[in-house]
Structure 1
């Protein structure tokens, strides 16, 4: 039987099976204090026979460390956040940590509550991957726990961050469109209160196009607007201003808009060129052929974990803001004029 009540075996069960004290079991399993080779062998054998697995949270009450990192992602269905999560889990595992993840539901108060819930689980550090939660709300946690913002430009003096340079990325993909000869371009713009990242990149696209002498037609791409309505506005802009290209703030929206345009009889890229932003698998696959700005997701994820563990190990280390450049991926959705 596993345990006195038939449930999961406890440290007391291991001590009874090994014929040693509870404190001796604790010393052996934590690798601290003094114990003989004989005691270690008895404890390890008893733990294996009972199927005992030490509880990381319980160990944390004693050691002050749980070797877990809490991660908040805004949208668990986002391919970008999914890719970031996978990279962070891998890097954390390499450094002896596990990642506990929760997601928001699109409201600031819910994301802040999610962070508080992670802290209550005694995680050693927090990584925030959200373009919605204001910096001030995240910074409230920084004095108590190592906190890093990943995937969005964040220059708050209390928060370390690592992110793709959204302004540079928006300008570079806009340059690709202008270089292809498009002088009237629709830019799907996202309000600041929808997403800090998408607002920054779409604003940079419009600004750069105008600097290059092109006409930028801004169309509202608020999250509440369905792709069919956005596509209808794009068709109107093509008819009224002669727009020959559409710039999207994400690959996901690009896919939806391309589909909605196709249903209206508009062919991509023959009738209108389209670009995206993010460049994560599977939408970055060569077979699909999106022209997009690829974020350095591998570096963002790994460096975010390195930063948070660095702050766990040394809370006095200086705040860092790491801005990384993305890469323009040429594809078949952008044709020269």
Structure 2
């Protein structure tokens, strides 16, 4: 198939959404599909308020129209609810072109944590955005059930994967290279964006033995680093260094209540490191019964119980998740036009475009 992926989240952003989308595109191309990615670097952008490393596209709609006409996709997937997603949605609705969407971030809760905007307002917007979608893809059953309760329709599963070649237990330790000879063990690690919606302060407040380690960067880092000077803030790490950070930890701590999955959970498990978390979306679907982590309303209890888990069992559980299976599920969820209708649609659209150009001239 020729697939268009429209997204406001793309490289060089570093987060779980971008990792999911880039890996999905790579797997789809390996399976023989053609994928056109409509993403912010193709347009003029401005920094996102309160989050300048995220760029928001401006005035992209006409360019997106031309990209769709030129590519003639058989399926369109809109991954985010930002400017590119809104513009692509508007075009698809206008042209009566089928499309699918996905729900990667608990946007209402995310916005409410940063601005005085009620969560209900956020959900009203999200329901409006996803209503015309043929399928709304979500990562976990718990999130699916919650969205259905909020009145969302056509909700379908789209799970996630992990690269078990990159994240694995046999990597060399790393923290000694960063001065850890004087750090008491056990090492409790958190990896991700250092921002208010990630609830990292709940982890830093815990009375735990050993050393708390934060890998990542973000708008809340300076404040938290000053307030919790005993914790080790190592900044953003990538590739092999990041994988070694996971491997060298004793417990990975995931305190977020707003993530919809949490790829870092699987990355930690693939390195053999058990995961402690609250019973939130993602952890509650991944961890119970796995032997690879503990969820508890008391995060300290979950952390301490993880110290007794077998790292071999943790790794074995992560091996059940693959990016190829995730991409295959994504493709199955797409809503392509039937072949005869598709040909007529694009011929009609080209004809209308030619008439409009002649009229404008």
- TM over 0.5: same fold? no
Name the larger-Rg structure: 1
The alignment's TM-score, normalised by the length of structure 1, stands at 0.38
TM-score (norm 2): 0.36
